[in-house]
């Protein structure tokens, strides 16, 4: 099998760092695109990249595959959309100029036309922009990523379960979640980059079997062998609390925008491209 040269943005993040290690173990060259060499696993394969500084993008010449996994998450910043959209646009323009053979954009299943979360809206705008400028861009929409250590809403709930016997539910806990195991996502990205199919529509990288938020909480409690009591709290109360903590600059590991994405998740996920490519993502085992 031919050795490929990759460039991965967000290489120090949960997904990016996992991909860097996975691809190197499979014999490929991987350049880590981060803000500083200290954030790279191997400083010999470091390239500068910062979404907020699109005028200074490293050369991508001789790169076979670009995987853009970086994202600016601070939705309280007034430049949030500009940083993410313009930074991504400039990166993919550089990739096109330098003849990168196969560019991949990591989006989210929260990205759809009527998304309520700023995260989903922004990712959707980026998808449309990239496809307009280069139809060969492959878009991957992962579900809620599961991997140790947990991050985001799963980490927040797991910490709550660890510390307390009573755990809050958002409303009745009926919000739907489609999980994506990182150890299943990495091989999918690897196979796509090796065979480089033309993919017209986004690939949904998630289990087709959804679970409710309540089932997620029970799953996390089961992993800890802990009995918990669930208490229902209205969505707007939790959302307001998170907005207040953000105004006060109090980091608690959960963003109000993420809560919006969970509450108003896309109920019409299109798995057609996933099925066409014969990719499967397993569900989380939970007593229903």
* Domains delineated in the chain: 5-149+178-208+267-276 (3.40.50.720)
pLDDT at position 287, please? 59
Rounded CA-CA distance 166/229 in Å is 5
Reading the block at residue 117, the tokens are: 């979360």
158 touches 192 (CB < 8 A):
no
Return the residue matching tokens 């031919």: 2
Reading the block at residue 231, the tokens are: 């208490």
Rounded CA-CA distance 215/219 in Å is 6
Phi, psi of 237 (to 5 degrees): -70, -45
pLDDT at position 169, please? 93
Rounded CA-CA distance 116/165 in Å is 32
Reading the block at residue 100, the tokens are: 């990168």
Return the residue matching tokens 């087709």: 208
Question: How high is the mean pLDDT in each 10-residue block of the chain (288 residues)?
Answer: 92 95 97 93 95 93 98 92 97 97 97 96 98 95 93 88 91 95 97 95 96 94 93 94 89 86 94 96 77
pLDDT at position 254, please? 81
Report the alpha-carbon angle 200-147-190, nearest 5: 40
pLDDT at position 286, please? 63
């Amino acid at each position: 099998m031919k050795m490929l040269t990759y460039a991965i943005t967000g290489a120090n993040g949960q997904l990016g760092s996992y991909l860097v290690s996975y691809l190197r173990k499979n014999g490929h060259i991987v350049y880590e695109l981060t803000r500083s060499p200290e954030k790279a696993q191997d400083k010999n394969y470091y390239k500068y990249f910062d979404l907020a500084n699109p005028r200074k993008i490293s050369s991508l010449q001789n790169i076979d595959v670009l995987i853009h996994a970086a994202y600016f998450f601070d939705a309280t910043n007034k430049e949030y959309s500009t940083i993410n959209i313009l930074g991504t646009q400039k990166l993919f323009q550089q990739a096109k100029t330098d003849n990168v053979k196969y560019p991949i954009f990591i989006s989210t299943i929260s990205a759809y036309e009527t998304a309520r979360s700023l995260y989903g809206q922004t990712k959707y705008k980026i998808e449309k922009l990239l496809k307009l400028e280069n139809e060969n861009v492959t878009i991957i929409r992962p579900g809620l990523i599961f991997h140790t250590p947990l991050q985001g809403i799963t980490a927040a709930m797991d910490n709550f379960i660890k510390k307390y016997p009573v755990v809050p539910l958002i409303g009745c806990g009926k919000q739907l979640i489609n999980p994506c195991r990182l150890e299943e996502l990495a091989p999918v990205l690897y196979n796509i980059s090796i065979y480089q199919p033309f993919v017209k529509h986004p690939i949904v990288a998630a289990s087709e079997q959804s679970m409710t938020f309540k089932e997620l909480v029970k799953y996390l409690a089961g992993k800890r062998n802990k009995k918990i009591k669930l208490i229902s709290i209205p969505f707007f109360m939790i959302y307001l609390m998170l907005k207040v903590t953000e105004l006060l600059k109090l980091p608690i590991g959960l963003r109000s925008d993420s809560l919006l994405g969970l509450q108003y998740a896309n109920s019409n996920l299109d798995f057609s491209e996933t099925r066409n490519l014969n990719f499967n993502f397993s569900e989380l085992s939970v007593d229903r």
